[in-house]
Amino acid sequence: MRAVIKKKISILLCFSLLLTMLTGIGNPAQAQTGSVKNVIMLIPDGMSVGGPTLARWYKQTALGQADSLAMDEIASGLVRTHWAKGPVTDSAPAGTAFATGHKTDDGQIGVLTAEEGKKPVATVLEAAKLQGKATGIIATSEIMHATPAAFTSHDPSRGNYNALMKQQVYNDIDVVMGGGGEFFGPTGGGKRSDGVDLRDVIRGLGYQYITTRDEMSAVNDGKLWGMFAARDMKYEIERGGTTEPSLAEMTDKAVQLLSQDPDGFFLMVEGSKIDWAAHANDTVKYARDIVAFDDAVKVALDFAKQDGSTAVIVASDHANGGVSVGVWADGKYADRTFADFKIPDNIGWTCGAHTGDDVGLYVYVPTGAEKLRGVVDNTDIADYMAELLNIDLAAITERLFVNLQEAFAGKGASVAAEVYGGDYVFTVTKDAHTLKLWSNSDKAELDGSQISLEGLIVTVDTSSVSEAVYNTYIPQEAVNLLP
């Protein structure tokens, strides 16, 4: 009898093992339970909760496609979007919340509030880089616009392109793609006065600098910097016949390049022009750019499902325009049927500005990782990504952003500053040693020897030379260079 029971148990165990193996075939994400190695965050800037609804109707009625989105299958909750002092946020503090886990003031990028001294705080991208991961940013606006800047740079003013773009250049990001090419030329698009052609600097740092879709397609490895428009890239509905790649194509190329790093990667993708169309209450451009954004989400999801160690997070930084499917002028609800439903008819807008609504949250994680759900704060997104990647953002902030004056005064060194090309150069002297530090870069020079630091030199008060000395932050690594 016992032999029969043992035989039955053995058969059941074999069947269970076979079933486990079979259910894993073709679905690596379900078969693996390891930690998350890669994070892709996609931001549909300015997309209200009504945006996906409108995009589905647009796909069906205008494009003749199925009325579903890639985002639909990973819908997870809602995000509260308020900034430090009010309910309706700008993209700068909203992006800062996503990138750093901190609320800040209007217009500020990657720094704390004025009451907190505007101290720079580390971003998820910067922390991932220090883990040895590859990093990337993509946008359809200028690349130094608020959202991509919030992940890669630090300044109290989102309009300070001089600082933001230079910090991006020197922040050792592996893949950068978007618009804004003219700002990197010697005239700086009117935003810089140093006369430096930053495109040459970018090439000198080992990037393949490209400007067309075909050039992008030809890149198969290495660091990539793609500037596909002088300023912002075109709306998706206007892109045909141009040399610009789509957001989905840029995302696909970025994933292809970044996934070659065995340590993993972090990628931020922004559908920037959704927000611009909402400001203009342009229903067709708004809907079409959401569809184009969703195509990029599909690229990310397809990779994540095949890879098995990638998380995908989708959330807008804020709502815009108060879009609705249905307007007061329609009268009775029954007056509008599927037969006569057309876009942009029957679509309402309450304003041409940002609104304080909650926005949608969409999350995909491989088996073994916890999915973020429910109603969350925008700062929770940064904390969640840091948790997935086993990152301590507070510790990275202390490592990357030490007050220059305080640190060197503690070493008995003296600090002097001068202005050069719109930026500050700090000269630190102690005994026979001279250390030079260039703001808005990672550049240092010790006794004539050039050094690239692991983080940026950031000045948050440029009102005077004396104020700059007391309001500049440097990596601890720079402090350690002097005995």
List, in order, residues 6 or more apart from 261 with CB less than 8 Å away: 132, 133, 134, 174
In the predicted structure, residue 262 carries a pLDDT above the cut 50:
yes
Span 425-454, average pLDDT: 97
Q: Give per-residue pLDDT as tens, 93-144.
A: 999 999 999 999 999 999 999 999 999 999 999 999 999 999 999 999 999 9
CB neighbour class for 358 (10 Å; exposed up to 12, middle 13-18, buried from 19): middle
Active-site residue, 324 included:
no
66 contact partners, CB below 8 Å, separation of at least 6: 59, 60
Asked if 325 and 347 touch (Cβ cutoff 8 Å), the reply is yes
Write the CB contacts of 309 (distance below 8 Å, at least 6 apart in sequence).
32, 34, 35, 36, 37, 38, 264, 366
22: Cβ–Cβ under 8 A, 6 or more apart, which residues?
none
The pTM (predicted TM-score) of the whole model is: 0.92
The span from the CA of 123 to the CA of 382, in Å, is: 8
Res 333 pLDDT > 90: no
Nearest in space to 46 (alpha carbons), one of 409, 352, 446, 333: 352
Confidence of residue 20 (pLDDT cuts 50, 70, 90): very low
Mean local confidence (pLDDT), 215-244: 97
Token pair for residue 282? Answer: 């342009």
User: Are 134 and 127 a contacting pair, CB within 8 Å?
Assistant: no
β partners of residue 269: 42, 138
Mean pLDDT for the stretch of residues 314-337: 86
Question: Of residues 91, 272, 309, 316, which has the active-site annotation?
Answer: 91
How many CB atoms sit inside 10 A of residue 16's CB? 10
Q: What is the DSSP letter of 288?
A: H
* Phi-psi sector, 16: left (phi>0), alpha (psi -120 to 50), beta: alpha
Q: CA-to-CA distance for 475 and 12, rounded, in angstroms?
A: 59
